[in-house]
Amino acid sequence: MAELVIRGGTIIDPNGSHETDVAIADGRVVELGTDLDGDRILDASGCIVSPGFVDLHTHLRQPGREEAETIGSGARAAARGGFTAVVAMPNTTPAMDSASVVAEVLELGNGVSCEILASGAITVGREGEQLSPMGELADLGVNIFTDDGTGVQDDAVMRRAMEYARGLGVTLAQHCEVTSLSAGTCMHEGEWSTRLGLPGQPAEAEELMVSRDIALSGLTGARIHFQHLSTGGSVELVRAAKAQGLPVTAEAATHHFTLTDACVGSYDPVFKVHPPLRSSADVAAVRAGLVDGTIDAIATDHAPHTSQDKERPFDAAPPGMLGLETALALAITELGDQLDLDHIVALLSWRPAVIAGAADRHGRPVAPGEPANLAVFDPTATWTVDPADTASRSRNTPYAGRTLTGRVRHTLLWGQPTVIDGATTR
């Protein structure tokens, strides 16, 4: 008899959708069918059963900022959002630019509620000058390198990083921002920055680096992944690069297709992110990129901050907001009239799994023999976002009080429930 059966759900996976029970044993799916029985039954009536989600962009803050988040608390938040794997960003203290720090993160990730995929910094200290020991980090399993939080400014350093990345078979992920244009800014440059008297960052600060890295990808043949695209110009550049057949992928953060720079009108620092919230035209362009496949994945850019830090004046507060527990619901609520559920799940699951280099165990079909890394969610359930009801150590969500549609009921990691009926189990 199976150890666990998910009963009464509808599967959505890369092969399509169909109704069936799912039997699980020894961490894998062992049988599909009707009226299956097992030692434990998880009800999935009215729910979608899909491969677990993979977040390409999570800040776990450990080591160094454990008061805002730990790997354990971030993993619990991820599991509540249906994620079975997250890529941990390297802007920790110290930065994840050495084998010792990456090994520490991987060790801390053992036994938590989702798989922790460590990224590595492209440059030592994320300072953009000296390349990190990329080969050594790749030997530890690092598949994605990024200086996230800042972009590599020096053209020659970025070219050299791409040459190494191609040889190692890893992906470079870029936070695109030309600091000579963005220094001292705290929001998008436009009508609202003028109204509010806040220094604005032009869209060109992002688009110039996107353009440069597309050119360097063409020169070197290296894979480049663009993180949290936020402007219409960036989307168009990626669209053109893909049309040329270049090895380019991109993600959009949930806040960049759900919020605009008008939200900053309250001066509430919860709306401060990096890159900033953009205009309504940019938001429409990002949505169009998700619909037509220019943008490959939905990411969270989950960035927890303590209340003490986030309650500073807008221009002095750190950028970032929570994202792991609301990503699915925001996608269904905001994109449901443009994308069917199959497309939304693809953006959250198997497409990012490929980019993360984890497609051998995440984003897999729900079929006998496959890993039981699964999300079970009710696409019609409505709920109201409550910052106090989060697994994160921080509370900086801009969606407080907002009613969303779609909620994760269960999450399984290698067949073991990490979330049952919305509550974490570890």
- Active-site annotation, residues: 301
User: Omega into 371 within 30° of 0, i.e. cis?
Assistant: no
What are the beta bridge partners of residue 19? 10
| Cβ-contact 153, 230 below 8 angstroms | no
| Cβ-contact 372, 415 below 8 angstroms | yes
The DSSP code for 52 is: P
The DSSP-derived string for 384-417 is E--TTS-SSS----TTTT-EEEEEEEEEEETTEE
Strand 16-25 and strand 28-33: pairing? antiparallel
Task: Scan for tokens 């996608």, then name that residue.
Answer: 331
Q: Which amino acid is at 77?
A: A
What is the separation of C-alpha 34 from the centre of its chain, rounded to a whole number of angstroms? 34
Would you say the C-alpha torsion 191, 194, 198, 201 has a positive or negative sign?
A: positive
What are the beta bridge partners of residue 53? 83
Cα(228)–Cα(238) distance, rounded to whole angstroms? 12
| Cβ-contact 252, 299 below 8 angstroms | yes
